[in-house]
A and B are shown apart, each in its own frame.
Chain A
């Protein structure tokens, strides 16, 4: 274990010094806030590990008690763009030492919040970014976000970690050399901007309640799919600053000094690689599998036709992974940067990719978006690492819409058990679907206390009184009757299964690192990487939606479809 850090911010320590720049590594992220006391413990996240995705500031489908009771949820990532629907963005009105935590109901002692301007999973075509703005998306249309605004929002809402603005194009890929040069220059300038110290007047307004606040900054590694551009951007972080740039950030000599970790978003890379591939195959045919808005946006407008673009949007379409092409791109970015900082990848699509990224690059943190998305479409994940011995090719989970689960009263995953079950050979899934427990307290509303009811007073017990797991048959029923509770339970389960996957990865890396390569290979062969189960579930989900759509208020339904990554709020 690393010793407790004294300065505030993110501290990353590698437990096993990596023998090479690339390759699997074990580490710990410890986050300390200013004035952190024993009441507010450090948030500690062992790596490789996961971060939880949010939509409009919430973990989709989870009430606040549920996100707190899901142990796997520690690092939560917040795309800020939906809050730009109002000016000023409403979270900036929240006061206190940790306004973003307060506004969104995350617990400073438990949750690490990172914040980016854009939703990292949104690959929609967007109007181009400008010299001094990023095009961001809100329900009220496309907005322009300037680096200065971003900096002021960051200091207002005080996330633990912020992703510097990055000029990642979401116009028609692939991109010219000229466009990429512009992209890395802007990304550099915008990183510099967020690292600038606050002026005295800024300090007095933005840091009134927390004078010691300083964001921990992550940089998105720019350069898209061009090796030279990626190298150039990475190198620029190490170049000594001089002149007016150096004046702006006196506390550091080069930008990397101000950076706490490196982040990689796979969606734009995949889109770009895919477009390039399609162009080379058939120069005449337009890229077809890409999500795209109804019409080419006019760069001068600030508001797209939201309804039109969203109705075209298919967040489900899987972009071909192109992972083998992505690995060298990521390595290029990292080849000269310090190895001591955490490396984060967003928008992986499979655990197979995760293993490859750990194996060949040495990525430390991965978002859980794909697993959360699986919950939206009725899939309960069920996989372990290392893969079980001697079984045929397995699915990563169950499409609980399928009729074979009608009478299946087993818990959501065969590889795990609920806390009350006695199949001791299996690990426990601690999620509230597999291991629900009697609430330790309840509310009373008047003349319903035990003194009136005569019921036994609930003993104050520190150990939970577990109940039987929710069954596949119940979830099957809830999915077919369009009950939202299905998704709440599945989200908690799927994030927990993914967390268990990471903890098994860490266990193997610390106990039997020599078997890593063989186990990765075995896992990749044992589990279906095409994730046919997700495709099947997506079809079932749509069928149930359609069947219900007939009798529903079509307009309400359409309105909902716009805003939500998860399934819509039931409005019958």
Chain B
């Protein structure tokens, strides 16, 4: 991997960088759409590429079950299997193992779980996670970490953090001896829950291993913790993480989360939210999400967003026809998915442009004024951005919404 920071925000910790991987260049900060099962819901890889997406995510846990490694091996890796010629990232499979399998127990050796096929006890070790990811062949692969919910408290959090460090060593060793270091890049995952001391210890240990890792992910968040805690952990990590490594905040996808994380120095994020919410009929716009299932859209002949460059909006696809078909026809889901992926890309792209132009604080203010102007700014965003020198409330009389912020039309339909 080649990673160069090409511009920095003069006020916040935001930066623009160029990440060169085996399948091309991805400009950071970027949002990665999730292709869990080797397809972005309903789309073809050619469509995704035409949207300007250069990096997507596959889930190791799922691909390991189906199609399975033998198929991927014969296909020549996941890129070829799914016809995706740009960059690809896989997770370690650990998170899904814990969240999707009831019987997972963590031992020092690895994660012990019941095989979904045979029910037999099966072990996923750090070494195995890495070699599975080698077979999949993604440009960025993740260490196996000991995942605990961000709401977990007590000694388990510390134990998981320490073990994640030990597992990182095993992942590095496995990766080093694989001979795949030229084409695949291993990321560490910083753990430590919501406890600043544990986070610090983890950061310290993992930064020591920087020669063995190409980048750092911030894990153990987005599990229902208070947003005000969330951003503080992110900031704590980005403050410490080395400048010359990309930073990846896992499971982040709401637009406000993205811009705040970018301001705190995050380079990459992924989430199923924009593609999932599309299937429920929610289109994301710079003025807040639109729930196209609501009957107020039934006669509205305007596109989702007149100034949006996505295929759905440039074609003039009306809210009315989307309303007519949403949740009835897959084609409506495809149309909104195309739009939402472009929306996410725009949020990040405008951010990059603003950073390069030295106008990122203005971008933040404009973004919040447009996105939350009507409903009020989430308090945690205001706090988070203050911590990096941007006062969102300067020259505005916007309301402040305590807690996680505004409840959009999508909240009950498709919260993450």
> A residues near B, CB below 8 A?
55-66, 82-83, 85-86, 90, 93-94, 102-105, 139, 406-407, 409, 432, 436-439, 441-448, 452-455, 467-468, 470-471, 473-474, 476-478, 480-481, 483-489, 556, 559-560, 562-564, 566-572
Query: Which 8 A-B pairs have CB atoms at the shortest separation, nearest pair first?
Result: A445-B349, A446-B349, A446-B353, A563-B328, A439-B50, A484-B42, A443-B52, A447-B352
Q: Residues of A contacting B299 with CB < 8 Å?
A: 86, 90, 93
Q: Residues of A contacting B83 with CB < 8 Å?
A: 436, 467-468, 470, 474
Give complex CA distance A444, B331 in Å: 24
8 residue pairs from A and B, CB less than 8 Å apart: A60-B329, A61-B331, A65-B47, A86-B298, A90-B298, A478-B38, A484-B42, A569-B329
Give complex CA distance A454, B331 in Å: 36
Given A83-B324, A86-B298, A452-B27, 12 other A-B residues pairs in contact with their CB atoms under 8 A = A56-B328, A61-B42, A90-B324, A441-B50, A443-B309, A446-B346, A447-B353, A448-B352, A477-B38, A563-B328, A564-B328, A569-B333
Contact call A105/B315, Cβ cutoff below 8 A: yes
In the complex, which range does the number of interface residues on chain B fall in?
A: 35 or more
Contact call A94/B75, Cβ cutoff below 8 A: no
Interface core residue of A442, A452, A566, A569 (most chain B CB under 10 Å)? A569
Contact call A485/B42, Cβ cutoff below 8 A: yes
Q: Which of B30-87 contact A (CB under 8 A)?
A: 37-47, 49-52, 54, 62, 66-67, 70-71, 74-75, 80-83, 85
Of all chain A residues, which has the CB nearest B40? A485
Binds A, one of B245-253, B334-342, B389-397: B334-342
Chain B nearest Cβ from A353, distance in angstroms: 27
Contact call B52/A442, Cβ cutoff below 8 A: yes
Q: Residues of B contacting A60 with CB < 8 Å?
A: 329-331
Question: Which listed residue (A103, A436, A566) contacts B44, Cβ 8 A?
Answer: A436
Q: Residues of B contacting A57 with CB < 8 Å?
A: 321, 324-325
Known: A455-B25, A481-B66, A485-B39. A448 touches B54 (CB 8 A): yes
B218 at the binding interface (Cβ < 8 Å): no
Contact call B329/A446, Cβ cutoff below 8 A: no
Give complex CA distance A445, B53 in Å: 10
Contact call A488/B334, Cβ cutoff below 8 A: yes
Known: A485-B39, A488-B334. A443 touches B327 (CB 8 A): no
Contact call A569/B330, Cβ cutoff below 8 A: yes
B317 at the binding interface (Cβ < 8 Å): yes
Q: Residues of A contacting B327 with CB < 8 Å?
A: 556, 559-560, 563, 569, 571
Interface core residue of B39, B279, B280, B349 (most chain A CB under 10 Å)? B39
Of all chain B residues, which has the CB nearest A484? B42
B255 at the binding interface (Cβ < 8 Å): no
Q: Residues of A contacting B324 with CB < 8 Å?
A: 56-57, 82-83, 85, 90
Known: A454-B25, A487-B330, A569-B327. A65 touches B311 (CB 8 A): yes
Contact call A446/B351, Cβ cutoff below 8 A: yes
B320 at the binding interface (Cβ < 8 Å): yes
Of all chain A residues, which has the CB nearest B82? A474
Q: Residues of A contacting B62 with CB < 8 Å?
A: 481
Give complex CA distance A488, B335 in Å: 12
Contact call A59/B75, Cβ cutoff below 8 A: no
B16 at the binding interface (Cβ < 8 Å): yes
Contact call A467/B279, Cβ cutoff below 8 A: no
Contact call B52/A567, Cβ cutoff below 8 A: no
B233 at the binding interface (Cβ < 8 Å): no
Known: A103-B318, A443-B52, A569-B330. A478 touches B74 (CB 8 A): no
B151 at the binding interface (Cβ < 8 Å): no
Contact call B52/A432, Cβ cutoff below 8 A: no
B332 at the binding interface (Cβ < 8 Å): yes
Contact call B311/A452, Cβ cutoff below 8 A: no
Q: Residues of A contacting B37 with CB < 8 Å?
A: 477-478, 481, 483
Contact call A93/B301, Cβ cutoff below 8 A: yes
B6 at the binding interface (Cβ < 8 Å): yes
B240 at the binding interface (Cβ < 8 Å): no
Q: Residues of A contacting B406 with CB < 8 Å?
A: none
Q: Residues of A contacting B301 with CB < 8 Å?
A: 93-94, 103
Contact call B25/A473, Cβ cutoff below 8 A: no
Q: Residues of A contacting B298 with CB < 8 Å?
A: 86, 90
Q: Residues of A contacting B39 with CB < 8 Å?
A: 478, 483-486
B365 at the binding interface (Cβ < 8 Å): no
CB within 8 Å: A-B pair count: 228
B170 at the binding interface (Cβ < 8 Å): no
Give complex CA distance A378, B390 in Å: 53
Contact call B66/A477, Cβ cutoff below 8 A: yes
B196 at the binding interface (Cβ < 8 Å): no
Give complex CA distance A64, B317 in Å: 9
Chain A nearest Cβ from B14, distance in angstroms: 12
Q: Residues of B contacting A562 with CB < 8 Å?
A: 328
Give complex CA distance A486, B298 in Å: 29
Give complex CA distance A489, B66 in Å: 19
Q: Residues of A contacting B54 with CB < 8 Å?
A: 448
Give complex CA distance A483, B71 in Å: 17
Give complex CA distance A564, B66 in Å: 27
Known: A436-B83, A569-B327. A448 touches B27 (CB 8 A): yes
Contact call B320/A90, Cβ cutoff below 8 A: yes
Give complex CA distance A445, B310 in Å: 11
Of all chain B residues, which has the CB nearest A409? B75
B348 at the binding interface (Cβ < 8 Å): yes
Contact call A484/B350, Cβ cutoff below 8 A: no
Give complex CA distance A94, B49 in Å: 32
Give complex CA distance A447, B354 in Å: 9
Q: Residues of B contacting A103 with CB < 8 Å?
A: 301, 318, 320-321
Of all chain B residues, which has the CB nearest A455? B25
Contact call A563/B329, Cβ cutoff below 8 A: yes
Q: Residues of B contacting A487 with CB < 8 Å?
A: 330
Q: Residues of B contacting A441 with CB < 8 Å?
A: 50
Contact call A56/B345, Cβ cutoff below 8 A: no
Give complex CA distance A94, B303 in Å: 13
Give complex CA distance A478, B327 in Å: 20
Contact call A566/B321, Cβ cutoff below 8 A: no
Of all chain A residues, which has the CB nearest B356? A447
Question: Which listed residue (B41, B276, B354) contacts A484, Cβ 8 A?
Answer: B41
Of all chain B residues, which has the CB nearest A572? B276
Known: A94-B301, A436-B44, A452-B18. A446 touches B334 (CB 8 A): no
Question: Which listed residue (A409, A444, A488) contacts B52, Cβ 8 A?
Answer: A444
Contact call A566/B329, Cβ cutoff below 8 A: yes
Of all chain B residues, which has the CB nearest A441? B50
Contact call B47/A447, Cβ cutoff below 8 A: no
Contact call B325/A58, Cβ cutoff below 8 A: yes
Q: Residues of B contacting A443 with CB < 8 Å?
A: 50-52, 309-310, 342, 345
Contact call A445/B348, Cβ cutoff below 8 A: yes
Chain A nearest Cβ from B69, distance in angstroms: 12
Give complex CA distance A157, B6 in Å: 53
B242 at the binding interface (Cβ < 8 Å): no
Give complex CA distance A452, B4 in Å: 11
Give complex CA distance A65, B310 in Å: 11
Interface core residue of B75, B321, B353 (most chain A CB under 10 Å)? B321
Of all chain B residues, which has the CB nearest A560? B327
B403 at the binding interface (Cβ < 8 Å): no
Give complex CA distance A58, B18 in Å: 40
Question: Which listed residue (A102, A139, A447) contacts B16, Cβ 8 A?
Answer: A447
B223 at the binding interface (Cβ < 8 Å): no
Contact call B85/A467, Cβ cutoff below 8 A: yes
Of all chain A residues, which has the CB nearest B323? A90
Known: A444-B52, A446-B352. A58 touches B332 (CB 8 A): yes
Contact call A453/B18, Cβ cutoff below 8 A: yes
Q: Residues of B contacting A437 with CB < 8 Å?
A: 46
Give complex CA distance A568, B330 in Å: 7
Interface core residue of A64, A93, A103, A477 (most chain B CB under 10 Å)? A477
Give complex CA distance A230, B50 in Å: 53
Q: Residues of B contacting A572 with CB < 8 Å?
A: 276
